Chains A and B, each alone.
Chain A
Amino acid sequence: MPYRIPFQSTGDEDSEDNFSSAQKKARKAKARNTMNMAILAGEIMLESGAETYRVEDTIIRLCKAIDIVNYVDVFVIPTGIFLTVGYDNNINTVLKRTKPKSVDLNKISLVNQFSRRFVTTNMTLDEAIDYLSKLRGLKPYSDFVKSVLGGGLVGGFSALLFGGSFPDFVSAFFVSLIVVKSREAVARKINIISYVKDFLGSLVAGALAILFVSLGIGASVDKIIIGSIMPMVPGLAITNATRDSISGDFLAGVSRASEAILCALSIAFGVGVAIKYYTYFNIGGM
């Protein structure tokens, strides 16, 4: 592929293209809408926990599908998108700061489908923006479903997988149900940093596990705690970090890796505080 110069200065900018001023206005609006649409799509994906290369790829495909665009370049890091779009004799750059939200595979899949459809059919930009903003407001599974299936099943069966017995299953089911439910509730009420949330979550998990064992419902504290911290472990962050690093995005890789390490440390410290008090008071049953 020959080297493409992003923007060639032709000296007298306006005399170059032979469009009327109305046409020029329309093209300007179209280019801006393209950028809005692409940024919106990228933002949804990035907030839902997609890898940076996937976001970059989607944005480039979306922009290239517009006929007036003659130059696209994009740089995505886990906390922001930089997009440059060139058309006619103009070049525009947008910087969008994003905040990571919860993981949402459904949205990633839907944006993927949308980009495929947008490139192949002739969907207008307004329709696309409409569709994307509707997609952005899409609700995840309800709290109840998430805490019972996501929390309870994960906690209970992870405890069994790591060698727990039936009493452990029952108590890990309830402990992790409570932890996931309260985390969701806290996340909705106050804007708390996710690491503090992980710390408190694992602290509560540890304390409840000890309580359940001392009440005689569970059998071993270890298995219950292991089961109930599983919904919080940063598996996605570790995987994405290494993926990004290997594909050459070291900035994204390192920032994701530090996210994973901080998350793992806060979980470990939460559990650590709980066990420390447990061994201090020595309630028994360990």
Chain B
Amino acid sequence: MYFYISQAIYSLLSTFGFAVLFNGPKNCLLKASVCGMMGWLANITAGKLMLSPTISTFIGAMTVGIMGEIFAKLFKKPATMFIIPGVIPLVPGAGMYYTMLSLITGEFSETAQLGSETVFTAFSIAIAIIISSSLNKALLRLWELKSGKKEIITKR
């Protein structure tokens, strides 16, 4: 329990820092941090369930994406405001570092293993964001069709 609480606090503050670094609007900083915290908690929970780093990062990024879409609806801001700062703690900075370290010490098989894991983790984040945003669009469309509303999203 202590582990989860400490990780929640760390990820909250770290995401807050990212939101400041990306110049987020003042009233979105804390909301984005909550988003990032939930994503990180989902990530470490999936990690505890012995899922691979790629899959657990995917689950974390998916959580951030869904939270971001919900927050975007609630607070009338683009979803990117919450998603971008929230997703950065999941970016495999550690993977990048260890890949480089193994490259320098000359262990090439380890480099290949760590490197491919890092690349796939980075891609899983992007794919999770896309899935959550297109899910949101699909749900919105479904809701429009059901309520017989006119097209809100006008596509060219």
Say whether A271 contacts B84, CB under 8 Å: no
Of the candidates A108, A161, A162, A225, which one forms a contact with B78 in the assembled complex, judged by CB atoms under 8 Å apart? A108
What residues on B are CB-neighbors of A102 within 8 Å?
Answer: 23
Given A226-B93, A233-B91: A105 touches B25 (CB 8 Å cut-off): yes
A236 to B20, CA, bound (A): 14
Task: Check: A200 CB closer than 8 A to any chain B CB.
Answer: no
A241 to B84, CA, bound (A): 13
A230 to B94, CA, bound (A): 9
Task: Check: A272 CB closer than 8 A to any chain B CB.
Answer: yes
Say whether A272 contacts B100, CB under 8 Å: yes
Task: Check: A167 CB closer than 8 A to any chain B CB.
Answer: no
Nearest CB on B from A149, distance (A): 4
Task: Check: B51 CB closer than 8 A to any chain A CB.
Answer: no
Task: Check: A204 CB closer than 8 A to any chain B CB.
Answer: no
Interface centre among B6, B99, B101, B105 (most CB of A within 10 A): B101
Say whether B123 contacts A109, CB under 8 Å: no
A222 to B94, CA, bound (A): 9
Nearest CB on B from A107, distance (A): 8
Of the candidates A110, A149, A236, which one forms a contact with B84 in the assembled complex, judged by CB atoms under 8 Å apart? A236
In this complex, the interface size class of chain A, counting residues with CB under 8 Å from chain B, is: 35 or more
Query: CB-CB contacts of B113-124 with A at 8 A, as 1s and 0s?
Result: 000000000110
What residues on B are CB-neighbors of A124 within 8 Å?
Answer: none
A34 to B127, CA, bound (A): 36
Q: Which label, helix, strand, loop or mixed, suits the secondary structure of the A interface?
A: helix
Question: Considering the complex, which residues of chain A in the window 94-114 have a beta carbon less than 8 Å from any beta carbon of chain B?
Answer: 102-110, 112
Query: CB-CB contacts of B85-107 with A at 8 A, as 1s and 0s?
Result: 10111010110111111011100
A102 to B83, CA, bound (A): 17
Output the nearest chain B residue to A64 by Cβ-Cβ distance.
Answer: B154
A106 to B94, CA, bound (A): 29
Say whether B7 contacts A161, CB under 8 Å: yes
Query: CB-CB contacts of A225-254 with B at 8 A, as 1s and 0s?
Result: 110011101011011011100100000000
Given A112-B78, A153-B16, A157-B13: A105 touches B84 (CB 8 Å cut-off): yes
Task: Check: A267 CB closer than 8 A to any chain B CB.
Answer: yes
Say whether A105 contacts B156, CB under 8 Å: no
Question: Considering the complex, which residues of chain B in the window 62-78 have a beta carbon less than 8 Å from any beta carbon of chain A?
Answer: 77-78
Given A150-B18, A279-B105: A243 touches B13 (CB 8 Å cut-off): no
Say whether A225 contacts B97, CB under 8 Å: yes
Task: Check: A136 CB closer than 8 A to any chain B CB.
Answer: no
Say whether A267 contacts B18, CB under 8 Å: no
Binding site for A on B (CB under 8 A): 6-7, 10-11, 13-14, 16-25, 28, 40, 77-78, 80-81, 83-85, 87-89, 91, 93-94, 96-101, 103-105, 122-123, 125-127, 129-130, 133, 156
The 9 closest A-B pairs by CB, nearest first: A242-B126, A150-B21, A153-B17, A154-B17, A157-B14, A235-B91, A149-B20, A235-B88, A104-B23
